[in-house]
Amino acid sequence: MLWSQVEPIRGAPYNWAALAQIDAAVAEAKNLGMNPVVIVRGTPVWASVTGSGCAAIQDQYLPDFANFMAALVQRYKYDVAYWEMGNEPDVDPRLVPSNSPYGCWGNINDPYYGGERYGRMLRTVVPTMRTANPNVKIVIGGLLLDRPETTIVGRGTPERFFEGILRSSAADFFDILAYHSYPSYISPFYDHDLSDLGNIWTNLGGWTLGKAAFLREVMARYGVSKPLWLNETGLICWVDVKTQECIPPINAEFFSAQADHIVRIMARAAAANIQQVSWYTLNGPGWRSGGLLDANQNPRPSFIAYKLLIETVGSYQSVCATSDYGSAVEAYRFVKGNEFVDVLWSTSGSEVLVRLAANSYRSAVTRSGGTPPLELDLDGVHIIITVGFQAVFITRARVP
């Protein structure tokens, strides 16, 4: 949703007709029983610090933005509770096109990369939003957070953008901290969430958990605690700048790797209390072939794995990592009523035999919907299941 489309001329009547597509999308989401999250971006030229639509708002025009947001929240009072302020705001507008759908609040020349200015915006705007609808939830526009420490000369310190927000005393003016994560595909049977070509996030725990740990550490230093959302993520192809071709080329191994990746990040995020995870996108083929569906909107392996995970885990009550299967596998236990589902995979890629009590065993399925090799142990009281790089979902009863 672009402010610049609704108020292109300062003080003119709001052009609500510009939001016809948004209106339709919100209505459809509500009909499907979904809670939409609406991103607001697009600074009008008259309010921009650079004269571009991709830029921070001049402080003198923050009251105008506050008035607009109050009217916007009032307009969607019964349909939209979650409002995301910008999209990847921690990018300097000089690094992206003037009509970029992401970035725009960053400032390479500022030690806190523009975060304090963004925080001032929150402090001015959010009170009017909460007055219009006390039930609103304010989401800090999903941070790009490319790396924990920027060493590229001339790129500033974007990793300090969020700290700038907290330094501006804006902690009370947002409810949820969102971030994004997009590792690029390297090869099959490779845990893309834990490491990449530059090992940027490896030491902190990988893309999903490392970024969460980084943000939580910043919050802890300022005595702040906010829920985390990973509201954009995926496994995408790396694109050659000159040819715009994917490297390596897209093939079945790439799509299989996406299926492995989605199970891993969903399980890890759940156990780390990351309260929401959104794969980008559902529709195919998606940005850099990241869609859960293909170009004909047919399910890819990632869609099948994600759907099966949701169906198997269901409405779980709790989740945690478990070491019950030994150190050769990574496993997470989703407790649901009188049973639990263990989601596990081999950490090396080699097949591993895991052993569990036969009287607790209910079923086992691979993330692709197949049945893993299993047999009754010689002792007659244990089941042995073969687990490889592809995750296995084991449903078990809770027995004394």
CA dist list (Å): 234 to 128, 169, 229, 259, 328: 35, 33, 14, 10, 26
pLDDT at residue 399, as a whole number: 87
| pTM of this structure | 0.96
Contact 170, 219 (CB under 8 A): no
Contact 71, 60 (CB under 8 A): no
Integer Cα distance of 400 and 252 in angstroms: 44
Contact 180, 145 (CB under 8 A): yes
Integer Cα distance of 176 and 183 in angstroms: 23
Contact 40, 86 (CB under 8 A): yes
Asked if the bond preceding 281 is cis, omega within 30° of 0, the reply is yes
Identify the residue whose tokens are 């009590």.
357
Strand-pairing partners, residue 40, are 85
Walk along the chain (400 residues) and give the pLDDT tens digit of each residue.
999 999 999 999 999 999 999 999 999 999 999 999 999 999 999 999 998 999 999 999 999 999 999 999 999 999 999 999 999 999 999 999 999 999 999 999 999 999 999 999 999 999 999 999 999 999 999 999 999 999 999 999 999 999 999 999 999 999 999 999 999 999 999 999 998 777 899 999 999 999 999 999 999 999 999 999 999 999 999 999 899 899 888 999 999 999 999 999 999 999 999 999 999 999 999 999 999 999 999 999 999 999 999 999 989 999 999 999 999 999 999 999 999 999 999 999 899 999 999 999 999 999 999 999 999 999 999 999 999 999 999 999 998 7
In 10-136, the DSSP E strands lie at 37-40, 82-85
Strand-pairing partners, residue 343, are 332, 393
Q: Which domains does the chain have, with CATH numbers?
A: 3-317 (3.20.20.80), 320-397 (2.60.40.1180)
